[in-house]
A and B are shown apart, each in its own frame.
Chain A
């Protein structure tokens, strides 16, 4: 009976995948509404001209990644709220698990793990930094980049029983969060709107473009990485 069910479920999944893949529109041949075109051409207030990668200059928002231009520019206030949600959950974990001693096993961690951490950790941290520095150009950004960095920190926790980062992570987290709000307040002082994109946006596709978007994403990357490292440190304390 179990096998029949398993077979039915896999058949259903296969049908679902084939169905949803076959109705995908052809690459580059999608009919978009006016609103989505306004966001893609980065001219919500403007005249809706087509954006050319590597050529268009001084748009409302210079991020080549459309998602990033919406998340960190058009609705950056909402992202501030998202960061706060993450902060609250980290706070909750810290509150519940506060006071527990860190678990020790009385034996050295895996030899293979200890050796490979030395090779892997710089690469993982580098990749995380790459993901959030290039958040306005490629898929990714502050949240995935910070999570990748936290995964590297987890590797350190697994391979070294003495390693502790809780103080540093709290420090980095609070400073990154405050700087995000400071960026917003500077926008309020210059442009009259909280979190407005007050820097020049440059050419679409350049590393130094998109105004405050890379700055905010770097701050979010540090904040999310520190927060998730703090959560890992708290969870590792479980008696």
Chain B
């Protein structure tokens, strides 16, 4: 169990690294936002679950924290993306599909 926990922590750290790399390498706000939230959501899940498995006393708390992150993280990134779109920040030229053109109806 402890080995699995440490493996999960290392896995999560790797995904944190990928998230940081994505923020550095992605071309525009929206892609960076995706890298910064999606990768780190999985990273946080793994790290917190790993800590819960290493010390089983923390497991219920860890599961609750995972539920909270699953509830809040997507909402935050969605709000940020919508705000930056409505502020007028353009996606890169490589973006082909834009289903949110003109914002939502008043």
Contacts and interface: CB of A to CB of B under 8 A. Distances in A.
B106 A116 contact: no
B79 A113 contact: yes
B84 interface: no
Contacts of B78: 110, 112-113
Given A106-B106, A107-B103, A107-B106, A112 B68 contact: no
A106 B82 CA distance: 15
B70 to A, nearest CB: 11
Interface string B50-93: 00000000000000000010011011001100100000000000
Contact of B71 (A107, A108, A116): A116
Given A106-B106, A107-B106, A111-B104, A123 B79 contact: no
A127 B29 CA distance: 32
Nearest to A119: B71
A199 interface: no
Contacts of A111: 104
Contact of A120 (B72, B82, B104, B106): B72
Contacts of B68: 123
Nearest to B106: A107
Interface in B36-62: none
A97 to B, nearest CB: 22
B103 A116 contact: no
A113 B75 CA distance: 6
A113 B79 CA distance: 7
A119 B70 CA distance: 12
A120 B75 CA distance: 10
Interface of B: 68, 71-72, 74-75, 78-79, 82, 103-104, 106
Interface of A: 106-108, 110-113, 116, 119-120, 123, 158
5 closest A-B pairs (Cβ-Cβ)?
A116-B75, A112-B78, A110-B82, A110-B79, A113-B79
24 contacts: A106-B106, A107-B103, A107-B104, A107-B106, A108-B104, A110-B78, A110-B79, A110-B82, A111-B104, A112-B74, A112-B75, A112-B78, A112-B79, A113-B75, A113-B78, A113-B79, A116-B71, A116-B75, A120-B71, A120-B72, A120-B75, A123-B68, A123-B71, A158-B79
